[in-house]
Amino acid sequence: MTKKKIQVEICCASADDVIQAALAGAGRVEFNSAMLLGGLTPSIGMLIAAQEGLRQCRVSDENFSSPEIFTMIRPREGGFCYSDLEFKSMLKDIEKLTEQGIDGIVFGILHADASVDEKRCQEILNLIDPLPAVFHRAIDVVPDWRRSLDILINLGFKRVLTSGQEKSAAQGRETIRRMVEYAAGQIEILPAAGIRTANVSDLLEYTGCDQIHLSMMRSCVDDSTSANPKIRFGGQPPASESIYSLADREKIAAIVQQVNS
């Protein structure tokens, strides 16, 4: 029996991240901004730059394969129950991003009690049809994941991103396996959070999933702020204003090879 190919999705927060993930062999990316805030909607400029970079890669290498790009739609950090204006901004972002050309979107909307907001989710799904949608890790805070999966299936979501309602997919692997069994192929279950080379093979075997979502970053240095080290630009500053993250091509390539060898 031929082994089923494992889809590797990489969380990317810049156009450069997308290119590194693509060169490493990732088949899909979740494109967002502000990963330290849980991921927010990327800008149109970021998307255009990523698409142009991928086109240049195809020109340089006829065997190059571009990954699917699913864009995050999240207007702010701190929860998933949005005001009317925040929801309107989500709709406007979706209109502009889909006009530019994407493969799908990632979003999740809850009521204040953490139940799925069916009405608003349906409105977005109607707007993007026939593009697919992924319900993100808002599923990990709902009070009843079975009831929530039923709702997402009925609404027509293609996938749901989850850590099994635990801090990491490894810790939540039992619930992830139960989700796969409960969904019975009606919606894809995409494990996420804390997935690394040391635990990915066991996770895939235990849950029966055929795809994974992860971020693999390396630290880079931008010394343009070093002339005045007392200045801070963020509310929760990193150890150094000179450090930023970039997708780690070598580590991503290693895990792509590991899960498909």
What is residue 120's predicted lDDT score, i.e. its pLDDT?
A: 98
φ/ψ (deg, to 5) at 55 = -65, -40
What is residue 1's predicted lDDT score, i.e. its pLDDT?
A: 47
Tell whether omega for the bond before 130 is within 30 degrees of 0, i.e. cis. Answer: yes
What is residue 104's predicted lDDT score, i.e. its pLDDT?
A: 98
The total domain count for the chain is 1
Q: Does some domain include residue 69?
A: yes
- The tens digit of pLDDT for each residue in 123-178 reads 999 999 999 999 999 999 999 999 999 999 999 999 999 999 999 999 999 999 99
Q: Does some domain include residue 132?
A: yes
What is residue 224's predicted lDDT score, i.e. its pLDDT?
A: 85
Q: Does some domain include residue 196?
A: yes
- The tens digit of pLDDT for each residue in 89-117 reads 999 999 999 999 999 999 999 999 999 99
CATH of the domain at 150: 3.20.20.380
pTM tops 0.85:
yes
> How many helices (DSSP H) and strands (DSSP E) are in the chain?
8, 10
Q: Which residue has the tokens 């795809």?
A: 211
Q: Does some domain include residue 138?
A: yes
Q: Does some domain include residue 23?
A: yes
Helix, strand, coil % in the chain, rounded to nearest 5: 40, 20, 40
- For the chain, give the longest Cα–Cα distance: 61
Q: Does some domain include residue 210?
A: yes
Q: Range of 85's domain?
A: 7-216+251-259
Q: Does some domain include residue 179?
A: yes
Q: Does some domain include residue 197?
A: yes
